[in-house]
């Protein structure tokens, strides 16, 4: 069994915040893969489903970000899971928007949701770090992550959510690289060699430079030659 946790804050006010990208991932997985309807339990919202023979529970803690560990700890104890059965999806300011990285264990890097989870279950769980970019100064971080994604980010954000949904079965199965590749194929699909060749073929050939007229006298040409 696996427990997937998306971090965020409850309520419509926060729904499109950068801090809620973990909630967005859980919603996409639940919708695309036929999970049960969301229901309130364990101080959060849970949905249940299956990938092959593996049972999976999705969790969106409703304790607010700073107390996320309370909800995660409750579910873990109820389902009798170990930290290595848990994958947490969270916003990551140290990664550029659209970048995704995997990590197991380690510190919380000042992320309040991870800090709370560390306090309740320890650090030995898996994380999916979802890049949202950095505002440039640490004092601006709280306001930055609690603001909505701008319209300019909607295209890559939707592609990223699609990629997470495409590859989630691979992540559940332990194939992290294949999961990341599924996301990359959505966010930055490779250009086909056919399209590249066509673009080259359609590129207009450069015109040869017109020959410059030379009306110098033979004597002037000789003088210029030895300058």
Q: How many domains does the chain have?
A: 1
Q: Can you give the residue range of the structural domain that contains 137?
A: 2-187
Pairwise CA distance, residues 182 & 160, whole Å: 9
Pairwise CA distance, residues 21 & 154, whole Å: 12
Considering the candidates 19, 111, 118, 134, report the single residue annotated as catalytic: 19
Note whether residue 225 is domain-resident. Answer: no
Note whether residue 144 is domain-resident. Answer: yes
19 is catalytic: yes
Note whether residue 224 is domain-resident. Answer: no
> Over the stretch 26-62, which tens digit does the pLDDT of each residue have?
999 999 999 999 999 999 999 999 999 999 999 999 9
pLDDT of residue 189: 82
Note whether residue 202 is domain-resident. Answer: no
Q: Would the pTM count as exceeding 0.75?
A: yes
Pairwise CA distance, residues 10 & 14, whole Å: 7
Q: 111, exposed or middle or buried, with CB in 10 Å at 0-12, 13-18, 19+?
A: buried
Confidence of residue 208 (pLDDT cuts 50, 70, 90): very low
Note whether residue 204 is domain-resident. Answer: no
Q: What CATH number does the domain containing 122 carry?
A: 3.40.50.1470
């Amino acid at each position: 069994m696996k427990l997937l946790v998306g971090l965020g804050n409850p309520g419509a006010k926060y729904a499109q915040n950068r801090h809620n990208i973990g909630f967005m991932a859980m919603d996409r997985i639940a919708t695309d893969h036929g999970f049960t309807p969301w229901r309130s339990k364990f101080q959060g919202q849970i949905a249940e489903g299956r990938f092959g023979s593996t049972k999976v529970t999705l969790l969106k803690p409703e304790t607010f970000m700073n107390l996320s560990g309370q909800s995660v700890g409750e579910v873990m104890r109820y389902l009798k899971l170990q930290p290595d059965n848990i994958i947490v999806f969270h916003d990551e300011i140290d990664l550029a928007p659209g970048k995704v990285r995997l990590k197991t264990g380690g510190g919380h890097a000042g992320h309040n949701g991870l800090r709370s989870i560390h306090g309740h279950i320890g650090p030995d769980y898996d994380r999916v770090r979802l890049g949202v970019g950095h505002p440039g100064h640490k004092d601006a971080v709280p306001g930055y992550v609690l603001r909505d994604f701008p319209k300019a980010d909607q295209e890559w954000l939707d592609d990223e959510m699609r990629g997470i949904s495409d590859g989630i079965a691979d992540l559940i199965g332990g194939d992290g690289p294949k999961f990341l590749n599924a996301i990359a194929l959505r966010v930055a699909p490779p250009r086909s060699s056919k399209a590249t060749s066509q673009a080259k073929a359609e590129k207009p050939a450069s015109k040869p430079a017109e020959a410059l007229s030379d009306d110098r006298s033979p004597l002037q040409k000789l003088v210029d030659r030895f300058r």
